[in-house]
Amino acid sequence: MNPNYIFPMDDLPTLRSLEDIILTKRKTLFRKPDKEEGIVFIVSGGLDSTTALARVINEFESQIYPLYVQRGARNEANELASLRYYLKLFSNNHPNLHELEILEAEVPPRKYKKDIPEVQLNAIGHTMRNSMLQSYAIQYAVSVGYRDNIRIRTVFTSLVPDDDLPHCRLISLRAETILACIDGDDWSWQITSPLLESELWGWIDKTIAIKYAFEHNLDLSHTYTCTDSSDIACGVCPACVERLKAFKASGHDDPIKYRTNKKDVA
């Protein structure tokens, strides 16, 4: 763990307790799936998702099944356009990358979103949002496992250590892993982010991910991160601001266009 990204919400004693539960049932917290296995990867077309997917398909021999949950977000059209661009690009050189699965499901239900105050969204986000996405991915893994006669017990997200909402933290992923293992009566399930696994690459923040992309000639100009605009990235929403800060820290220019009123980043 990078001490710069340890937050009070991480609750390290509880995190260790959850990891101890997992380790009493199996030998490792994370095991890299082999070439005979599959991985369901929740993808979005954003910066973190694209760089993580690129690295996974470069370094894993497993069969990769990308899943996009069409959840009614404002930036949905841009996310899908970005995602389709990169999946087409990656599939040219990576036969282990399967076709995109799109699931239409409101996450969270629009009926309930309208009553959530801004203070809740800023501090916690939409309650159980990521858990809902991960649960859909687990169900897809079970389904496609039977369909394609392949063992899938790994679900990837692209959470990074600089994500600062409770449902984006490692403690949440460990809890989801335990729930999946109990619900499926199988302690080999692992619900995680490859960008948060110490037994894989260590903690990969946005800045490191950007450097990886430039080192491997991955063009980031088609990624879409903004959550507040349905066309050109606004440059002022939290997602845009964090992206801009990461690019500045990386020493590289952000190749996407922003509206002229974007925030200056420190």
The pLDDT value recorded for residue 179 is 98
- List, for residues 208-259, the tens digit of each pLDDT value: 999 999 999 999 999 999 988 778 899 998 889 999 999 999 999 999 999 8
Pick the CATH number of 11-217 from 3.40.50.620, 3.30.310.10, 3.30.450.40, 3.30.450.190: 3.40.50.620
H helical segments located in 61-186: 76-91, 110-113, 118-123, 129-148, 170-184
Percentage of the chain modeled with pLDDT above 90:
77
- The β-bridge partners of 155 are 40, 191
pLDDT on residue 213: 96
What local confidence, expressed as pLDDT, does residue 151 receive? 98
Starting at the edge strand found earlier in the chain, the sheet holding 37-42 runs 101-104, 63-70, 37-42, 151-156, 190-192
Q: Is 264's pLDDT higher than 80? A: no
Ranges of H-type helices in the chain: 12-25, 47-59, 76-91, 110-113, 118-123, 129-148, 170-184, 206-215, 238-250
**Residues written for the chain:** 266
Which tens digits make up the pLDDT trace of 63-121? 999 999 998 877 888 899 999 999 999 999 899 999 999 999 999 888 888 888 888 88
Q: What residue ranges do the domains of the chain occupy?
A: 11-217
Torsion of CA 263, 247, 70, 101, to 10 degrees: 170
Chain centroid to CA 24: how far? 27
Higher pLDDT, 200 or 2: 200
